[in-house]
Structure 1
Amino acid sequence: MLQIHDPQPLPSPPDEPAAPEDAPERHRRGLLATLMVAWTRLTIRAPGAVVLAAVLSAVVAGFWTARHLGYKVGRVDLLDPESDYNKLWIDYAQEFGEDDDAVIVVEGSDREQVVAVLDELSREVARHDALFHAVLHEVDLSRIRSKGLHYLAPADLEGLDRFTAQAEPVLDGGWGHLKVATTVGGLASQLAAGEVATPGGESPLPALERYTEALLAAVEASLAARPQAPADYVSPWPGMPASFATLRDLSGEHLLAKNGRLGFVLLRLAKQEGGFAGASAATDELRRVIDAVAGRHPDVEIGLTGLPVMENDEMRASEQSMVWASVLSLIAVAVVISAGFGGLRHALMANGVLMIGMAWAFAWATVSVGHLNILSVTFTVTMIGVGIDYGTYYVGRYLESRRRGLSCEEALLETSESVGPGILTGAITTAIAFFCASLTSFVGVAELGTIAGGGILLCCAAELLVLPAVLAIVDRSVLGRRLPEPVPVHAWLDPLMRRPRLVVLAGMACTMAVAGGLHELDYDHNLLNMQPDGLESVEV
């Protein structure tokens, strides 16, 4: 039978619920129960002040978090900085820098098409020097041509010296040395004298054969009245040393692969320190530039990848997933609690107070660690799933006391005394388990343990300290005149409780069946498999 109360608050709430005469041990409260009853009396007297203080603190915590909480996407940030392998990497990064390149990938049908797009992309990207730097799409080797002799072996230098000595008379204006009679006569004289090699390092006989072949080819082309094809041309002069040809080819070279059908542009992205922005502004602008160039070259495929891009996409995907998962979790929890309590009012109150605890938890994450990573970003769902349990226990016992005929004030005091210590003890043990994870050397897990452990305690504190005030305000108003009817779960479970042996055997059988798949459980160490499907930076 429901009891209807006057919506006006009582002049002074009772000190504590009445106790049966045959149960004097009820008054032997522990320290936690005594403190919680004292706090509940205070909230009953001034519930509005408690709720206002809680809401204001949650708002301040939210602003503090928004301004100071960062996000680290680097794989190195998940590792122990004191480990030997990580120390080597840190030393390398301090010496050479730890920024990685973003890579624009261009795929076309031929080399000319790809090179044209690479040049256009480089020009467009170079205009945004505030967002991009160290743009590289070709290697310019012409600057080392003047220093090319420093890279040659001594034998190559001797060959160059002989070649320039042979060509020096011609370069000084002695064009008569190039006449046919002079050249052939000189070679014939060397053969007659038995000389082994010319000053250029070439034997007279091969030189004479080459010169004769070149003359015959030119005469044949002249008699046929046709121009000599470049492929049929034979130079009559001594060949240029290979080292000269190498120095001549020191010019620009694009970054190409697959016979020129695949090209690359490497660049560095400007990052914003702190917060969740990272390289988002640079990545967005780069994608806009790529879309504009791709629109002018529809036959060419252009993609964007590289570790900075993947980390930025990972950060955004994590942020969006965190928000959506949190919203869905809150909705699902509210639906389940509403169904269990038989009404929406108390479910909304428990979830509302949990949001205050979540704001405190985010502030704790900002103060204790200062940032989230790819693992600790999941703590919000953990807080919702675990933190709502404390509010559910409290509201469930409170409604049970109300159905036994206690007033709102009496039910709150009885609930804080009976289940408050148990709820706090459960939260402390759960928090200790998470805090133990902070002792591990794996920084990603350690930070998750620190954030989650403190967050659980704060969510529990919100449910134990703020929820009684919210219940006092709402259930002493017009809205509290009707108590919800809970789902008859006990009636559903009663047949099972009558057969405990059958339940135990069924539970053991299910456990063994599930444990049979443990041998198929593997460890996936590839972080790329954690990315959403269809992410361009991963697919490219």
Structure 2
Amino acid sequence: MLAHLLVGAVDLGRRHALLITALALALAALAGGFAVRHLGVDTDTDHMFAESLPWRQNEIAFARAFPTLADPLVVVIDAATPEEADATAAALAAALAADPAHFRSVKRPDASPYFAREGLLFLDTATLGPLLDQIVDAQPFLGQLAADPSARGLFSALALIGVGVAAGEADLAPYLPALESFDATLAASADGHPTPLSWQRLIGGGKLADLAGRYRFVLVQPVLDHAALAPGKAASDALRTIAARLPFVAAGRAHVRLTGEVALDDEEFSSLAQGMLIDTIGSLALITLWLVLAVRGPRLILPILATLGLGLALTSGFAALAVGTLNLVSLAFAILFVGIAVDFAIQFTVRFREAHHDIPEPGAALAATARVAGGPILIAAAATAAGFYAFVPTAFAGVAELGLIAGSGMLIAFFCTILFLPAFLTLARPRGEPAPVGFSTFDALERRLDRIRGPVLTAFAALALLGLFLLPHLRFDSDPLHTKNPHGEAMRTLHDLMDDPLTNPTSIDILTPDADAADQLAAKLDHVPEVADVLTLDRFVPTDQPKKLALIEDAASLLATTLAPREAAPVTADQIRLAIATARSGLAPALAKLPPDHPLARINADLARLADAPDDRILAMNAALTQFLPEELARLRAALAAKPVTRADLPPEIIEDWRAQDGRVRVEALATPAGHDSAGLAAFVAAVRALAPTAGGMAVIIVETSKTIVTAFTHAMIGALAAIAVILLAALRRPRDAALVLAPLLLSALLTVVGIRLAGITLNFANIIALPLLLGVGVSFNIYFVMNWRAGASRFLGTATARAILFSAATTGTAFGSLALSHHPGTASLGALLLLSLTATLIATLVFEPLMLAITRR
């Protein structure tokens, strides 16, 4: 009955070829148009996993509690001086806040007035005491600067340093880095290229600048367009345009870089698209070449391509109807469709060539093709579809959607092959075949293999055992960062932050009922070896305040009068020259006690060069030296005015990020450097969740997505094999015959495992998708040989079936192999694994399968 139905479908296509072709074109246009209008792309990676998963529920709950922390675009600023970084960050934040079309919120977490006022209280007493002593020791110098914050006052203070050195009362060792910076600024000014002097690096012997860290941050919530391939591109482009106009950025003295979740995702999508057009054109050219070699001539190639195009359009229309939006995994359905569905069309067309050689009349040849090839193609399509459908029930929504679309696409491809392809072939009117279609040379190869089948099968058995042994040792890299382009700005910036203990982004977030519960949990986490630091709301209230305030108050009492702001008269070039002369006379006695290459000696030489400089150069030097001086003196006055603080004194901008509106308080645990690799990250997450089972955050997301994906693929692969086995048993009606299809499939899987270990490939989020392809391709190839064997064939490699399998594999390999050339590391690893699994499948099908069939009694 089935054979009769298949022959009838093919005959229907042949008899109404023009009508069927017109109908196919109309269907393709309708489905394609519907897909263009209604099939979108959802690039939100959160939607790739079911919301019912516990870790996803924790993530959603945290996002609702702290909506201002979601979808961060992290702007990282570094500059030649800390003051230039501060000024750039402040100007950038102000400009971004004025652009609500691209940015929903803008924050500067490191620029709160609270930290400017209470910052010294966050130092431990062992650091604070010596720092204050150095500032107090510089009292004469600071007093002169506060009275006259200009080069005139600075050079007068420099003369005092010289007097102190000459009298043996000044220890310059702590100030050598500051003097080096002073010398560099003076030398640049003397050369006519003045650069700003960093007073953060001068005051306190540079320790204030070190405590602030190298980077400044602006945290942005951009307006995202999840229908675009790069949702944050518009906001990122607007930000870069604004940043390029900032003075220090335009001068090359400050650098603005982007990282964070949004920038990383956008960069990944750009990496995926890079070179895609060239790779696609090259792939299509090679596919066309393989089709030429497989079926010879445009009268057969064009029907195959038309059938593929029709099937792809119908599958796209189905995707638009069934899911509406594609995620970053289900986007691959087109590649899968072309890579696997082409096999059905090639198999039918090559078998038609074989029939047309023996049967000159095209209609009869098509009917004969339907009788011998229709059944195997149907079984292959059904088994492949079942393999894909097995992924639909999994919690990994990304691959579940892919399974639904690709599985349905296999059935669509079958109907296109059995109904529309005969119509296209009829209209194309291919000529009869003058010679047999198979490979005559492969007959000799098969006979040689048959003579040594014992050793060959033994070798396969050994490789299978090796694969079984290696299977538990396959590595899965759970870090999604390893699938991204390491050379992109966002990734390079992220690695810079990971290497800096002050900006470690590997963290876990926990929601606690209130501040007291947060403090109790933080105290426990402090004793966890895998945790480097713990932050919560009360950690922004300094500890040991009485002792620290006493130290600060002592320093403030000594420096209050010294640092009091005064009105200074405007400075002129002649006054600065006079101050230069005074400074040199003060330095002269000190130089005799210092080495010739000492910074003070070089400063004296710089002053000698500047003494005769024109007025514009003198005034430019004054601006470079004192541009940031008033601001730094004000910062120092504010820091010395620190007061006792409690939780009630915390500013709103801090409370907003750490206490939710319902009173729950956030606790953040930071990983040690050991947590940067997969094993260390898993240990970090396990240690924290032992104390806080509902913990979330980036570290938990990375670990849990890994578990979800591995579990989904494990369950789906088992389900797929079971479904394929059921279909084979139902179609072939003999367990032995079903086993003859499954045995090469399992062997190819084990050969792939061996190849993975030999090639040093690590399974990751990107290339694990190759596993269902192994099932789909392997099942199709093996069914054809087994069906031929059931029909009485005793030789296989020289047949038209083998020719179709070989060129189908070449076409599939070309479609998949182009991925291996991708600029995106994850996609390249997918392409490499696909080629490896396809090679293993070909070896199992073309070598192992014929030998198994030869020794199995029919």
Q: What's the TM-score once normalised by structure 2's chain length?
A: 0.43
Letter in 2 for 1:404: D
- After TM superposition, the structure 1 = structure 2 runs for residues 82-161 of structure 1, keeping only pairs within 5 Å, are 82-97=52-67, 99-137=70-108, 141=112
Q: Specify the alignment match of 2:259 in structure 1.
A: 305
Matches of 2:91 and 2:476 in 1, distance apart?
44
Inter-CA distance 532–138: structure 2 relative to 1 (3 Å threshold)? closer
- The reply on whether 1:351 has 2:305 as its aligned counterpart is yes
Task: Identify the match of residue 429 of structure 1 among 368, 380, 383.
Answer: 383
Q: Specify the alignment match of 1:62 in structure 2.
A: 32
Tell me the CA shift for residue 373 of structure 1: 2.4
Letter in 2 for 1:389: D
Whether the 8 Å CA contact 1:74–1:311 is kept in 2: the answer is no
Inter-CA distance 504–489: structure 2 relative to 1 (3 Å threshold)? farther
Q: Specify the alignment match of 1:491 in structure 2.
A: 441
Q: Specify the alignment match of 1:439 in structure 2.
A: 393
- After TM superposition, the structure 1 = structure 2 runs for residues 59-458 of structure 1, keeping only pairs within 5 Å, are 59-97=29-67, 99-137=70-108, 141=112, 259-274=212-227, 276=229, 278-293=231-246, 296-318=250-272, 328-458=282-412
Tell me the CA shift for residue 39 of structure 1: 2.7
Secondary structure at the aligned position of 1:129 is classed as: coil
Whether the 8 Å CA contact 2:311–2:413 is kept in 1: the answer is yes
Inter-CA distance 109–512: structure 2 relative to 1 (3 Å threshold)? farther
Tell me the CA shift for residue 423 of structure 1: 0.8
Letter in 1 for 2:61: D
Matches of 1:324 and 1:459 in 2, distance apart?
27
Tell me the CA shift for residue 503 of structure 1: 4.3
Whether the 8 Å CA contact 1:125–1:132 is kept in 2: the answer is yes
Tell me the CA shift for residue 141 of structure 1: 5.0
Inter-CA distance 41–427: structure 2 relative to 1 (3 Å threshold)? same
Inter-CA distance 467–305: structure 2 relative to 1 (3 Å threshold)? same
Whether the 8 Å CA contact 1:353–1:466 is kept in 2: the answer is yes
Tell me the CA shift for residue 533 of structure 1: 4.3
Secondary structure at the aligned position of 1:419 is classed as: helix
Inter-CA distance 46–488: structure 2 relative to 1 (3 Å threshold)? closer
RMSD of the TM alignment (CA)? 3.5
Matches of 2:36 and 2:106 in 1, distance apart?
33
Matches of 1:383 and 1:324 in 2, distance apart?
20
Inter-CA distance 357–55: structure 2 relative to 1 (3 Å threshold)? same
Whether the 8 Å CA contact 2:43–2:227 is kept in 1: the answer is no
What's the CA shift string for 1:20-45, capped at 9, x where partnerless?
xxxxxxxxxx2x33233333333223
Whether the 8 Å CA contact 1:326–1:381 is kept in 2: the answer is no
Whether the 8 Å CA contact 1:70–1:276 is kept in 2: the answer is no
Q: Specify the alignment match of 1:502 in structure 2.
A: 452
Whether the 8 Å CA contact 1:69–1:370 is kept in 2: the answer is yes
Secondary structure at the aligned position of 1:302 is classed as: strand
Secondary structure at the aligned position of 2:386 is classed as: helix
Whether the 8 Å CA contact 1:77–1:443 is kept in 2: the answer is yes
Tell me the CA shift for residue 286 of structure 1: 2.8
Letter in 1 for 2:93: S
Secondary structure at the aligned position of 1:34 is classed as: helix
Secondary structure at the aligned position of 1:62 is classed as: helix
Tell me the CA shift for residue 76 of structure 1: 2.8
Tell me the CA shift for residue 51 of structure 1: 1.8
Tell me the CA shift for residue 142 of structure 1: 5.7
Q: Specify the alignment match of 1:53 in structure 2.
A: 23
- After TM superposition, the structure 1 = structure 2 runs for residues 465-480 of structure 1, keeping only pairs within 5 Å, are 465-475=419-429, 480=430
What's the CA shift string for 1:274-322, capped at 9, x where partnerless?
4546333223333443455586132333211110122223334445677
Letter in 1 for 2:50: D
Inter-CA distance 495–387: structure 2 relative to 1 (3 Å threshold)? same
Letter in 2 for 1:72: D
- The reply on whether 1:536 has 2:507 as its aligned counterpart is no
- The reply on whether 1:527 has 2:480 as its aligned counterpart is yes
Inter-CA distance 319–109: structure 2 relative to 1 (3 Å threshold)? closer
What's the CA shift string for 1:121-163, capped at 9, x where partnerless?
2344334320112112366756999xx9xxxxxxxxxxxxxxx
Question: Structure 2: which 5+ runs fail to align?
Answer: 119-155, 165-208, 494-858
Letter in 2 for 1:270: V
Matches of 2:298 and 2:224 in 1, distance apart?
46
Secondary structure at the aligned position of 1:133 is classed as: strand
Matches of 1:334 and 1:502 in 2, distance apart?
37
Whether the 8 Å CA contact 1:36–1:416 is kept in 2: the answer is yes
Q: Specify the alignment match of 2:572 in structure 1.
A: none
Secondary structure at the aligned position of 2:328 is classed as: coil
Secondary structure at the aligned position of 2:104 is classed as: strand
- Alignment identity in percent? 26
Matches of 1:389 and 1:93 in 2, distance apart?
46
Q: Specify the alignment match of 1:7 in structure 2.
A: none
Q: Specify the alignment match of 2:9 in structure 1.
A: 39
What is the aligned residue count? Answer: 405
Inter-CA distance 291–338: structure 2 relative to 1 (3 Å threshold)? farther
Matches of 2:8 and 2:287 in 1, distance apart?
30
Tell me the CA shift for residue 263 of structure 1: 1.4
Whether the 8 Å CA contact 2:315–2:409 is kept in 1: the answer is yes
Matches of 1:517 and 1:381 in 2, distance apart?
30
Letter in 2 for 1:497: R
